[in-house]
Structure formats: structure tokens, C-alpha cells
Amino acid sequence: MNKDYLWWRDGITYQIYPRSYADSNNDGIGDLPGIISKLDYIQDLGVDAIWLSPIFPSPDVDFGYDVADYTAIDPKFGTMADFDRLLAEAHHRDIHIILDLVLNHTSDQHPWFIQSQKSIDNPYHDWYLWANPKPHGDPPNNWQAIFGGSAWEYAPHLDQYYYHMFYKEQPDLNWRNPEVRQAMLDVFSYWLDKGVDGFRLDVFNMYFKDKALRDNPPKLGLRGFDRQKHIYDNSQSEMFPLLQEIRDILDQYPQSYTVGETFLADPAQTAAYCGEDKLHAAFNFDFADNRWHPKRFLDSATSWYQALPEDAWPNNFLSNHDCPRAATRYCFGEDDRRAKIAIAMLLTLKGTPFLYYGEEIGLRDIPIRRKADIMDPIGKTFWPLYKGRDGCRAPMQWRDEVNAGFSQGEPWLPVHENFPQRNVDQQASDPESLLNFVKKIIRIRRAEPALQRGDFTPLIQDPRRLLAFQRTYQDDQLIVILNFSSFNPEFQIPLGKWESLIEPGKPIPSTLSLKPYEVEILKKQHEPYPIEKDKR
Ligand code: GLC
Ligand code: CA
């Protein structure tokens, strides 16, 4: 590996939704021993880090995003000993571990909240956002929960409301309380001391809300939540000194990393949270939202780079546990050609690529046909307008065996019916498969510092069909050409001698005619120095 290699900048992160990856004890729920059993596969894929969606004890109203204990492992996923083993086994393979910290809210089953709601004098009462009703018993203000209805839940025995941005089982913490703040900072230290490499911070820009609880102003929109400008219920400036404090802790551990998930923030606001005294990175949702058009991806990538401060490094993702998978959004049926382009783009653009488990084999969302089958509560609330997030959370497809080799028991979500054809085993043995393509591009990326940390310059030719750009690092120059179309657009190669990294040795004409959905990566060859005759 080249020197100066920095895992979170130059490497690739692979997000695992632990419930759905591999089930070791056949209770239908993926677990840590299951993940451990797949570490060789993950290493062979060529990624540098695993981001685990929450593995802490949780009543699972929001499947782990409602945490009941920040420093323990949920028994359904295994034990702390399993986690220690996962960490050791991953590190042994140069794979880093990123934990998902959900610190904006806890579960209503967290002992802190159980205390908090006991009485107004309880020492934990102030750990959450309690407020008195307005005259006539109305909620303290007009704030809405993203998961539906008022954000305020009334507790009759206290004659007070508590605030929750998500489900009512996810009460928001009062980050202005110094004890809460300290308890949370201790969570960082606890896991860092164990050897964890980084964190994904769930909706971190929600931690603070307007102190005076002012009403959000109205705007046009469909649902109650969308009919407000969310200026008072998130993104308060107190977040900045807190980020500095978090970063100070992180910086005591070499090469540690934080990536933040913003909520209701545009790319410019998101970028403002990144930098040397803030987060290492944050997710750019704007990029993932694009429809299939090379110019759109290019535009959101370049504006993201411009928005980020100099001392921050971008990242890119197309899929996660909250939205339909990229392959579901972009591909037609089982045709993986667009999935290849999409992943090649992630792996070659400037920015750390985040892959979502199964993206490497083109998992498609499972269809949600009946309300009664839905696991994600928001899918039930908003049915049939919105069916929730089960689609992208289905089991990983390993083999053409019962439940795709995920579990011998009844999986918590059904396996996609395409599993007999679409699975890791099958794709591993097919040289043309998406999996082998992804591994190849990853190998190329791992060998080329320019693809990892090089500068980025767009090369605009036929922008309706092609996404092309140059990556340069020190003396290396690479060109990436991605044909988003089923046509044969042409691309003029800049002067110089170029070699294909996709198909080494292949002659490169000055005008390249691309095959439908073709990916080409070219590297400039250094000409031997001309020998001056008179000096011989
Ligand atoms: C984040 C998570 C999402 C969760 C929500 C509440 O957006 O990604 O899955 O429901 O936060 O924690
Ligand atoms: Ca299990």
C-alpha cells in the first residue's frame, strides 16, 4: 500500500445493516458472529472500513435507532465478547470499524428517560425536552415529528409534554444539560478506548433546538411536517462548539474519524459542519437524490466539492438504509449495466466511497405488497403513499440455498425472490458479474493514489451521455470515462500516451468510441526523456 495512505480518506467504507447481513444462530436476525463469518468476504472485496448500523440494546421501534444503552451490545446481535472479537478480527484484516451513534434521542426505554418521566423533581427530568402545555392544554409550539403528527407527547401525570422529532418512543435529549453533554462525550471515549475507529453521527444537527421554543413559520407542503420552515427545530449554532469538543476527543486517537448525517440541511449547511475543528465528513444527500443523468451527478459532485472547506474531504454514497437502493432506482429489471456505472462513479469520483451491503451484487429492494407485512412503522403510518424503508433492508443474498444462505430460520424480512440467480456465490463464479466488476474497479482504485486523493477536473464532452473527469496526484494523471447511455458516444482523448487500466495493453485511439454503459479508466504513460544528441 502506498505511503500516506489514510483509511478514511483513501479507502472505501461498507455499511452493514446488522439485522440483515448474516444470521449465525438462525433466529432470523443477522448478528455479530454472522458478520465475523463474512470478514474474509469483506476483506476480499477490498474495503477499508465497516460502518455498522446501531448494535446497541434497543426495543427496535426504529430498529436500533432507538437506543436503550449506549455502552452495551444488544443480545440479539451477540455479546460484548463478540464485539471485541469482531473488532480484533476486522483490525487483523486492516478493516476499520465505524459505529453509528444515535445521540439526538434515546429510546423511551432508556433508564434515563424512565427516570425522567417519573416526576418533575427527578434528577433526570431535565435530561429530556419537557415543556408545559399552552393555555387550554395545547402543545408548547407547532413543531411536528417527521414520522407523523405533533412532535410533542403529553404525559398526563406530569401535565407536561416531551419533544420527539421521530417516533414518540424516541424522546429527544436535552443537550443543553451539562450532564447529558458529558454522558454523551463519555460514549465517544468509551468506544474509542475499546479501539473503535470512527463514528457515524445520526442526525447530529438536531441536537439543539431553539431555546425559546418558537413556532416554525409556515410554508406550502403536503404533510404537516412539510408545511413548516424548519428553522427552530434543528441546526442551531450551539452545534459548532460541541463539534469542536467532540473533535478534541477524537483527535486524541490517531486516525479516528467522524462522519455526520445532517437532517433538513442543504449541501452548503452540511459542508459547514466539516473541517479540522469539526467533523471529518458529512453525507451529501443531494448527490444520492439525482436521477439518471451524468450532468446532474457531475453538478452535485462539483458543487459539493466547492461547498466544502479546504480542510475537509468529501465522501459519496448512493444507497443507505433509509432510501431505495441505487440499483432499484436506476436499473431496468435485473439488468446490472447501470449499477456498474453507478458504482464505478462512486469508486472514482473525488471523495470516500460509501457502499451499502449488497450494492456489490446489485441487491434490489424487496417489493412491499401489503400493509400488514410492513416492519418499519412509518410505512404503516403513511401507507400507501409511502411504504417505509423495509425495501432496502432485506437480507443479504449469499447462495442459492434456503433464505439465500442468510439464515436457516424465518428471516425478519423476506429475501428477494431473485436470490437463486442474484447471490454472492453465483456472481463470484461469473467473470462478467457486477461483483467481479466492482472488485476490479476497487483493485484499480487501491493501486492508484490519484483515484484516492487526487485532484478532480471535469472533462466535458457529450455531457448528456458521458461523465468524464481527470484525477491527478503528483506525477500521475488518470482519466475516467463513464458512458451513462446505451449509445456509442465518442470521446477525444487528450494528447499523450494513455494506457487502459480496465484492459491493459489495449490500443487507445485518439477518438474513443464507447460501448453502451462502458467504463474506461486511462492512465497517462510517462514518455522517456528525449536524449539530447550533442550531450551524448
Ligand atoms: C436517521 C437514521 C434513520 C432513523 C433516524 C432517527 O435518519 O438514518 O434510520 O430512523 O435517524 O434516528
Ligand atoms: Ca441471529
172 lines ligand 1 (CB under 6 A): no
Amino acid at 62: D
Per-residue model confidence as pLDDT tens digits over 367-408: 999 999 999 999 999 999 999 999 999 999 999 999 999 999
Residues 54, 70: Cα–Cα separation, whole Å: 10
Per-residue model confidence as pLDDT tens digits over 180-212: 999 999 999 999 999 999 999 999 999 999 999
C-alpha 210 to ligand 1 mean position (Å)? 21
Catalytic residue among 62, 66, 261, 359: 261
Q: How would residue 536 be classed by pLDDT, with cut points 50, 70 and 90?
A: very low
C-alpha 126 to ligand 1 mean position (Å)? 24
Catalytic residue among 23, 74, 202, 360: 202
C-alpha 18 to ligand 2 mean position (Å)? 9
Residue 238 bears catalytic tag: no
H helices of 159-266, in order, are 178-194, 239-250
Per-residue model confidence as pLDDT tens digits over 439-493: 999 999 999 999 999 999 999 999 999 999 999 999 999 999 999 999 999 999 9
C-alpha 404 to ligand 2 mean position (Å)? 15
Closest ligand 1 atom to the C-alpha of 66?
A: 12
Ligand 1 probe mutation, 322, 354, 356, 386, most atoms within 8 A of CB: 322
In this predicted structure, the answer to whether residue 2 has a pLDDT above a threshold of 80 is no
Q: What percent of the chain has pLDDT over 90?
A: 97
Kindly give, in sequence order, each residue whose CB lies less than 8 Å from that of residue 281, ignoring residues fewer than 6 positions away: 8, 257, 258, 259, 260, 274, 312, 313, 314, 315, 352
Ligand lying nearest the CA atom of residue 105: 1
- Average pLDDT value for the chain: 97
Residues 38, 395: Cα–Cα separation, whole Å: 14
- Torsion-angle region of 205 (φ positive above 0: left; ψ -120 to 50: alpha; else: beta): alpha
Q: Is 333 exposed, middle or buried (0-12, 13-18, 19+ CB in 10 A)?
A: exposed
Per-residue model confidence as pLDDT tens digits over 63-102: 999 999 999 999 999 999 999 999 999 999 999 999 999 9
C-alpha 405 to ligand 2 mean position (Å)? 13
pLDDT at 530: 62
Return the residue whose CA atom lies nearest to atom 12 of ligand 1: 65
pLDDT at 346: 98
pLDDT at 376: 97
Q: How would residue 529 be classed by pLDDT, with cut points 50, 70 and 90?
A: low
| Mean of pLDDT values over 507-521 | 97
| Mean of pLDDT values over 266-287 | 97
pLDDT at 48: 98
Return the residue whose CA atom lies nearest to atom 6 of ligand 1: 65
166 lines ligand 1 (CB under 6 A): yes
Ligand 1 probe mutation, 16, 106, 146, 203, most atoms within 8 A of CB: 203
pLDDT at 124: 98
Side-chain-side CA neighbours of residue 534 (13 Å): 0
DSSP helix/strand/coil, 7: helix
Residue 499 bears catalytic tag: no
Per-residue model confidence as pLDDT tens digits over 147-164: 999 999 999 999 999 999
Phi, psi (deg, nearest 5) at residue 200:
-105, 125
Q: How would residue 532 be classed by pLDDT, with cut points 50, 70 and 90?
A: low
100 lines ligand 1 (CB under 6 A): no
Closest ligand 1 atom to the C-alpha of 62?
A: 10
Return the residue whose CA atom lies nearest to atom 2 of ligand 1: 202
Q: Residue 79 has which C-alpha cell?
A: 455479546
β-strand pairing of 466-473 with 455-458:
antiparallel
- This model's pTM is above 0.85: yes
Sheet holding 315-317, edge to edge: 281-282, 257-260, 198-201, 96-101, 49-52, 13-16, 352-356, 315-317
DSSP helix/strand/coil, 358: coil
202 lines ligand 1 (CB under 6 A): yes
| Mean of pLDDT values over 414-423 | 98
pLDDT at 3: 78
DSSP helix/strand/coil, 149: coil
